Amino acid sequence: MMNPVFTNAAGMDKNVLQRYLALPQPDGKSMITYVWIDGTGENLRAKTRTCDKEPKSPDDVSWWNFDGSSTGQAEGSNSEVYLKPIALFKDPFTLGQDKVVLCETYNFDMKPTVTNHRAKCIEAMLAAEDQHPIFGPFYCGIGACLALGRDLVESHYKACLYAGVNIRGTNAEVMPAQWEYQVGPSEGIDAADQLWMSRYLLQRIAEEFGTQVSFHPKPIAGDWNGAGCHTNFSTLFMREPNGINAIHTAIERLKARHHTHIKVYGKDNERRLTGRHETASIHEFSAGVANRGASIRIPRQVDEEKCGYFE
């Protein structure tokens, strides 16, 4: 008798998945996918459960918890980490009443985890609330593990629009298989929430295409451009007539704390910020009009109109 041969053909057949996704969902039931930043401070995790009614805001979604010892966020002897829902989006994968909710993470004592930088950011945003700080568009570079990437990029664009992410555009970049998309503009903390959700959707869609996404600052060594996340920024004063003065004041303040700030802008940036390939040196602060090789760029139109934003 021949030995049976087992295959995993169904695992690659999306028609099988669609058969089950098309099943009718009971009235009032919603699948809620909780998304959070793990112990690396860069990667995203997710888990799903059923809600008995469709949530309309993050406040309608209950807190949850997860095993922090498996995500680098807690010891095994006291491993529960809490998830606090903070931003709600439509689910572009299961559709209907289902949602994806971005969460903050809290330790057993209800203090923010080490990688929950959002809690501190909220304090800063509240302190500057009267200035109506606007971030974005965020220019989020991606690359190099994609064969070409256009199908993935366009699928991501549509998924973001459906979910409610404020995506503004996308384009191919200098390096082969390198792409960029823009999220925003958005005011205050909402800008960061939108950006993180856009990254979750991108990585989730990449699974469908059997590819990986790299956010590494220098995905390919050598004479190639790197990949970075940069943003436009303005306050109410900068957007008003003669706001250029407020822009220059902000630039001087950023210059004074350049080395402090650069330490928390992510790992391996020294490999990208070399002073070449349209970047400034990581060791030296610089600013200029229409200068893509500077730490901060003032668009020429802003310089001429004497108000606006800086990048």
pLDDT digits (tens, 9 = 90+) for 230-243: 889 999 999 999 99
Q: What is the pLDDT of residues 257-289, one digit of tens each?
A: 999 998 888 888 887 888 887 788 889 999 999
**Mean pLDDT of all residues in 18-39:** 93
Q: What is the pLDDT of residues 159-170, one digit of tens each?
A: 999 999 999 999
**Mean pLDDT of all residues in 75-93:** 95
Residue 121 pLDDT: 94
- To which residue do tokens 């949530």 refer? 55
11 pLDDT more than 60: no
For the structural domain made of 27-116, what CATH number should be given? 3.10.20.70
- pTM of the predicted model as reported, rounded to 2 decimal places: 0.87
**What is the architecture, at CATH level 2, of domain 129-305?**
2-Layer Sandwich (3.30)
C-alpha separations of 75 from 35, 43, 71, 196, 273 in Å = 21, 19, 10, 26, 36
Helix axes 118-127, 190-208, angle to 10 degrees: 150
Residue 81 pLDDT: 97
Spatial separation of the C-alpha atoms in residues 193 and 35, rounded to whole Å: 11
Q: Greater confidence, 287 or 175?
A: 287
Residue 141 pLDDT: 61
212 pLDDT more than 90: no
In the 8-state DSSP scheme, what is residue 25?
A: P
Domain ranges across the chain = 27-116, 129-305
Averaged confidence pLDDT in the chain:
89
